[in-house]
Amino acid sequence: MNEFKENTKGFSLKEVILIIFISSLVTSLTTGMILYNQNRLTKNITYQDLSQDESLKEFLNVYASLIDEYYEDVDKKGMLESAINAMFNYLNEDYSTYMSKEETDALAQKLLGEYKGIGIEIDSHNTIANFIENSPAKEAGLQVNDRIIAVNGNFFPTDEEDHRKLLTDAISNTSIGETVTLTISRGIENLNYTVEVKNLYLSSISYEMKENQVGYIKIDTFSNTLKEQMQNALNTLESQGMQSLILDLRDNTGGYLSSAKEVASLFLEKGKTIYYLEEKDKTEEFQDETEEHKTYKVILLQNKESASASEVLLAALKEYGAVSVGTTSYGKGKVQQTYSLEDGSMVKYTSAKWLTPKKECIDGIGLIPDYVIEQDNTNPNEDLQLEKALELAKEI
């Protein structure tokens, strides 16, 4: 029988002291890092840095004097809003600004690209005027011209504004996947329908098949859900035999930069540069990281209102073979970052420039199309730019 003897050894006093010292040092460093991160306002500035800023101390002294010693009561919130506005006025840059809560909410709704609802558009008489795509209300059996008279058994009051509030409150208080009951008037009948509340896309695009198997997609804004909407549109048009595509970016003032990258990645080959981001201390390259790409020809439509994320997509696709038609784009080569305030308002400020795949900055310059075509403003029903794009697509 073999015996194994465990070799044990105790720690000396010096070793114990050394272990305690190292443990204390690690604990202190870790605690210091946690406190530093909690104290940090941005990646480079902490509250401690600001406490040592003499200019800020002077501002706070003036602020304290006014709220404490001014002869009338001071609206602190209003005064601080004015101070924030003054900082942005000092920057004297169009894209860096303060936005009220109402402006912030409207922008967030537009860029979010989705909302909780039942998929109907109603007129001032509470009559269903239209359904959005994949409408739960339409699936439940409601029809255009149905007049809604009650929600969840609560009949509408006489005031039209209260109609909408009753409907929107009922939907907002209903969880996704649960239902609301609509009572509608149709002809001489009153009917009840149970409708599921869902997360629905705010449409960012419209699309159709033109003659000669030419697909047409118009992008209105670069919302958070644009990639999914583009994929659905492309799948539909491709299933119908699309041979070439017209991508209309006219009057599109932009949106999320990430959405422009996602849409470009639907078309480009993996590894192709989409844009560069030039910040204060570094320049970063953004490439297509997906396996998906398209081989059919793309014709781009642009005008002087095509800006920001639209120009990112224009520049990326043009670099790799797309042809553009229209007029010179807006020329917004700057990228904004946002910071939300406690009252729901927001500030946005320029944090970087974006550069084309050739590392060119188009800010204040814009992108010149391959075919410069002005619209005939005397004939609003004639779209010369689209006609040229269709002509190019037909040649292909």
Residues 311-325: what's their mean pLDDT? 96
- Asked if residue 5 has pLDDT above 50, the reply is no
Place of tokens 């409150």: 169
346-355 and 334-340: which strand pairing?
antiparallel
* C-alpha span between 214 and 234 (Å, rounded): 12
23 Rama sector, left if φ>0, alpha if ψ -120 to 50, beta otherwise: alpha
Among 9-18, 287-296, 348-357, the minimum mean pLDDT is found in: 9-18
The answer to whether residue 9 scores a pLDDT higher than 60 is: no
Residue 105, pLDDT above cutoff 90: no
What are 31-62's pLDDT values in tens digits? Answer: 454 444 445 667 677 777 777 778 788 888 88
Average pLDDT on 332-355 reads 88
Is the model more confident about 121 or about 11?
121
Q: Which of 223, 205, 228, 195 is nearest to 117 (CA)?
A: 195
pLDDT of residue 237: 97
Among 3.30.43.10, 3.30.430.20, 2.60.40.10, 3.90.226.10, name the CATH number for the domain at 205-395: 3.90.226.10
- Tell me, what's the pLDDT at 18? 60
Q: What is the tens place of the pLDDT at every residue in 269-307?
A: 999 999 999 998 899 999 999 999 999 999 999 999 999
282-310: buried (b, 16+ CB within 10 Å) or exposed (e) per residue? eeeebbbeeeeeeebbbbbbbbeebbbbb
Per DSSP, what are the bridge partners of residue 182? 151, 193
Residue 296, pLDDT score: 95
DSSP string, 214-277: EEEEEE--B-TTHHHHHHHHHHHHHHTT--EEEEE-TT---B-HHHHHHHHHHHSPTT-EEEEE
Whole-angstrom distance, CA of residue 127 vs CA of residue 125: 5
CATH of domain 114-201: 2.30.42.10
More confident site: 141 or 66 = 141
What is the model's pLDDT at position 52? 79
Band of pLDDT at residue 85, cut at 50, 70 and 90: confident
Residue with the two structure tokens 């595509």: 245
Q: Is the pLDDT of residue 245 over 90?
A: yes
Secondary structure element (H or E) that encloses residue 115, with its range? strand 114-117
Residue 147: Cβ within 10 Å count: 16
pLDDT in tens, 178-221: 999 999 999 999 999 999 999 887 778 999 999 999 999 999 99
Contact 392, 246 (CB under 8 A): no
d(CA 85, CA 97) in angstroms, rounded, equals 7
Task: Inform me whether the pLDDT recorded for 1 exceeds 50.
Answer: no
CA torsion, points 356, 358, 359, 360, in degrees to nearest 10? -70
| Residue limits of CATH 2.30.42.10 in the chain | 114-201
| Per-residue model confidence (pLDDT) at position 7 | 44
Mean pLDDT of all residues in 163-171: 80
Top-confidence residue, 111 or 315: 315
Q: Start-end ranges of CATH 3.90.226.10 in the chain?
A: 205-395
What mean pLDDT is predicted for residues 127-143? 89
